[in-house]
């Protein structure tokens, strides 16, 4: 893949300092459902971009069906930031290694998307990174049931969004989803990918 493509994605992203200081991009949308701001638990996910012959692909996981939160949903590898983690990227790498066995040597950080908050009380910092196409990984079978790639181009075309509504705490919320093969990608994962599209679209 031409280096110019990497550089374009990198130019659209935030530095670590900027990400830590930026307000969550979806705060207004979820504000009425969320706890007090100072109760958010910090978390990080790894938005891995894999260069393939036909362009960049996004590394995604399917959560195990028995999990308490978001069972069976499509997500990025990630989780809570622990005190031993040097930064959100290190937390995302640790979680990716635990969930899918991805080694840090295969991953190179490009930058961060805007943070977002979740209805489960997390403030998430999405770390965007290039993943070597020769990476080795497999689901741990505990938190992750499946690992797959979807073309980034799918998420960069707003025409591929499918609107739907869901009831939450007695209120109807309008959401969007993407479909890839037999997968339905929505919620926080879709929101992060839309944020990446918006950031790329804002480049001069």
For the cut 60, the answer to whether the pLDDT of residue 2 exceeds it is: no
Residue ranges per structural domain of the chain: 3-201
Q: Residue 195 has what pLDDT?
A: 96
pLDDT at 186: 92
37 pLDDT exceeds 90? no
Averaged pLDDT for residues 180-189:
94
- C-alpha–C-alpha distance, residues 73 and 172, integer Å: 20
**72 pLDDT exceeds 90?**
no
Give me the chain's average pLDDT, please.
Answer: 89
**Which residue(s) pair with 49 in the sheet?**
58, 130
Nearest-angstrom CA–CA distance, 112 and 87:
12
How far is the C-alpha of 186 from the C-alpha of 174, rounded, in Å?
A: 11
| pTM, entire model | 0.92
Count of Cβ atoms closer than 10 Å to residue 144 Cβ: 22
The CA distance from 49 to 40, in Å, is 27
137-174 pLDDT, tens digit each: 999 878 898 999 999 999 999 999 999 887 766 666 77
Matching residue, tokens 């300092």: 17
Strand partners, 20: none
Of the candidates 196, 4, 197, the one whose C-alpha atom is nearest the C-alpha of residue 111 is 196
3-201 has which fold?
A: Nucleoside Triphosphate Pyrophosphohydrolase (3.90.79)
pLDDT of residue 121: 84
The length of the chain, given as a count of residues: 204
pLDDT for the residue numbered 68: 61
Closest CA to 112 of 11, 30, 27, 182: 11
- Compute the average pLDDT of residues 23-50: 83
Instruction: List, for residues 86-101, the tens digit of each pLDDT value.
Output: 999 999 999 999 999 9
What angle (nearest 5°) sits at the alpha carbon of residue 40, between those of residues 39 and 41? 115
Report the pLDDT value the prediction gives residue 6, as an integer from 0 to 100. Answer: 75
Residue 66 has pLDDT above 70, yes or no: no
């Amino acid at each position: 893949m031409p280096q110019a493509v990497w550089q374009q994605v990198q130019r659209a992203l935030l530095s670590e300092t900027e990400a830590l200081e930026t307000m969550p991009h979806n705060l207004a949308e979820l504000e009425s459902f969320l706890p007090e701001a100072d109760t958010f638990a910090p978390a990080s996910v790894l938005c891995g971009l894999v260069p393939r012959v036909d362009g960049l692909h996004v590394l995604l996981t399917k959560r195990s069906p028995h999990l308490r939160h978001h069972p069976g949903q499509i997500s990025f590898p990630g989780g809570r930031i622990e005190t031993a983690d040097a930064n959100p990227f290190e937390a995302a790498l640790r979680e990716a290694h635990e969930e899918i066995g991805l080694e840090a040597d295969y991953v190179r950080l490009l930058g961060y998307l805007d943070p977002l908050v979740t209805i489960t009380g997390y403030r998430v910092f999405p770390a965007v990174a290039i993943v070597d196409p020769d990476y080795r990984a497999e689901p741990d079978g505990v938190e992750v049931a499946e690992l797959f790639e979807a073309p980034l181009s799918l998420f960069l075309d707003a025409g591929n969004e499918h609107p739907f509504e869901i009831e939450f705490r007695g209120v109807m919320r309008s959401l969007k989803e993407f479909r890839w093969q037999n997968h339905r990608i929505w919620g926080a994962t879709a929101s992060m990918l839309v944020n990446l599209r918006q950031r790329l679209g804002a480049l001069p």
